[in-house]
Amino acid sequence: MKAKAVIVWCFAIILLLSGGILFKINYQIYKKTQTKVEKIENRIADMEKQTNKNNNKLEDVHKSGVQKEQSEEQTKAAGKKIALDPGHQSENVDMSDLEPIGPGASEMKAKASTGTVGNTTGKPEYELNLEISRRLYQELQTRGYEVVMTREDNETAISNKERAELAVREKADIFLRIHANSSENPGIQGAMTMVPSEENPYVGELSAESSRLGQCIIDSYCETTGMLNKGVQYYDDMTGINWSQIPVTIIEMGFMSNAEDDTNMADLEYQSLMVQGIADGIDDYFGNVRE
């Protein structure tokens, strides 16, 4: 019995010793593995920090680039002044008195009129003209232009001659008159610009630059809005053109007698395209080429 007990105790001691050795070995392996895992985790954390730094740098570069582009656009537009003329005014304003259609002219026309009315929307042209002019005013200012308007409400009594004189008095670089068209034929639609011809007895010398201005605006406007492009057309009997002393054009934005044009021009989202197209055309005229 004693011999058996001794053997059992010896066996137990051996098991304890071997277990301790195995524990020590496993613990060392665990420590080494944990150390490797911690190193990997630290490396991943360092990589994430570096990635975030790189992303922040890229974002800063992007912001800097956008700010630089905006600054360059505004620099190009700086010093340029636009005179906007929202055509017509309310029927409550009597502008039936006559004025000469040009300097020294014997031919007379009414000082102004109320304009046309949308066949489908019922919107008066003078309201549409002012809506677009106000939005265009904001857009051009955002682009860095200085802007002046001949009227800021529908009750202002100002004649076509006085509008042209205001643009000159304000030392504007161009005179842009905002209008909408009408026809007895409701099927006619599209946009055009109106400028003086070289034969104009009052402002023939402005024809070339006015034509270039009109072409830039109508092409950009129609490209942006999808409106039918009726091009640049020459008129020598427009008082607001004939009294100008700076490049001048009238944009007829569309036909209010046509259901499609009329509905489009009254739509706020479409008006945004109209404003963008006109503003881009002005940029093109001044050489601010869009990317």
- At 154-211, the pLDDT tens digits run 999 999 999 999 999 999 999 999 999 999 999 999 999 999 999 999 999 999 999 9
Residue 162 tokens, joined: 């006085």
Q: How far is CA 13 from CA 10, 19, 23, 24, 280, in A?
A: 5, 10, 15, 17, 94
**What's the pLDDT band for 226 if we cut at 50, 70, 90?**
very high
Query: DSSP 3-state assignment of 258?
Result: coil
Q: Is the pLDDT of residue 224 over 90?
A: yes
Separation of alpha carbons 273 and 132, rounded Å = 10
Q: Is the pLDDT of residue 93 over 90?
A: yes
174-181/146-149 β-pairing:
unpaired
Question: Could you give the percent of the chain with pLDDT greater than 70?
Answer: 74
State the pLDDT at residue 77.
79
**What's the pLDDT band for 268 if we cut at 50, 70, 90?**
very high
Reported pTM: 0.75
174-181/81-86 β-pairing:
parallel
State the pLDDT at residue 28.
63
Q: Is the pLDDT of residue 27 over 80?
A: no
State the pLDDT at residue 208.
98
pLDDT digits (tens, 9 = 90+) for 101-151: 999 999 999 999 999 999 999 999 999 999 999 999 999 999 999 999 999
Residue with tokens 């023939």: 204
Q: Is the pLDDT of residue 15 over 90?
A: no
pLDDT digits (tens, 9 = 90+) for 53-70: 666 655 654 555 545 455
State the pLDDT at residue 59.
63
State the pLDDT at residue 89.
94
What is the pLDDT of the chain when averaged over all its residues? 86
Contact predicate 250/196, CB 8 Å: no
First to last CA, the chain: 103
Q: In terms of Cα–Cα distance, which of 131, 133, 91, 82 is closest to 112?
A: 91
State the pLDDT at residue 76.
62
State the pLDDT at residue 29.
57
Q: Is the pLDDT of residue 289 over 90?
A: no
State the pLDDT at residue 78.
75
